Amino acid sequence: MTWAANPLLQQRLGCPVNAGFGLRLVYQPFERGHMFWRDTGEIYALSEQSIRQGSATDTFWRMADTWQEGQPESDPGFSPPDGLRQPICGFGNAWRSNEGLRNALGWAVDGERWFDSFWQDFEHGWMMVGPDGRIFALVPSDVNTGVHFGALPGG
């Protein structure tokens, strides 16, 4: 298990508080990160800018999905470069309303998709499995932001 083999993760996350559970998440890849949606109505946006420059951690944002049916899915004021996409609906609403998040992630590189994941809560955060089997470990700093370690190899 990734946690058992990594003393830094053990220190930052603390001990597991449950055995973990399977769930379905929605995922969208971005130029410099990822967005995830969970059935609790929360959106998680994970930057990879610092990790790609050699840091062990990077920033994540957690926010409520406030988009509702009937609201515009996108904003014509945001025009992506060729080959990239403006995120839509809940991801798009979160992305458009947070300039720091938008600048960190860049544009979406593909559409949203559902996938089967695994989630485990720890004393000081949680770990989740991404669509490609890599693991993301998240440690909140406050209600809305924190640091993540990942994506880490699965196992």
Per-residue pLDDT, 154: 66
Tens-place pLDDT, residues 71-83: 989 999 999 999 9
Tens of pLDDT along 1-10?
Answer: 678 777 888 8
Residue 35 and residue 43: Cα distance in Å, rounded?
7
CA angle 102, 107, 109 (to 5 degrees): 145
Calpha distance 16→19 (Å, rounded): 7
Whether the CB-CB separation of 31 and 107 falls below 8 Å is answered with yes
Count of Cβ atoms closer than 10 Å to residue 22 Cβ: 9
Token reading at 104: 């960190």
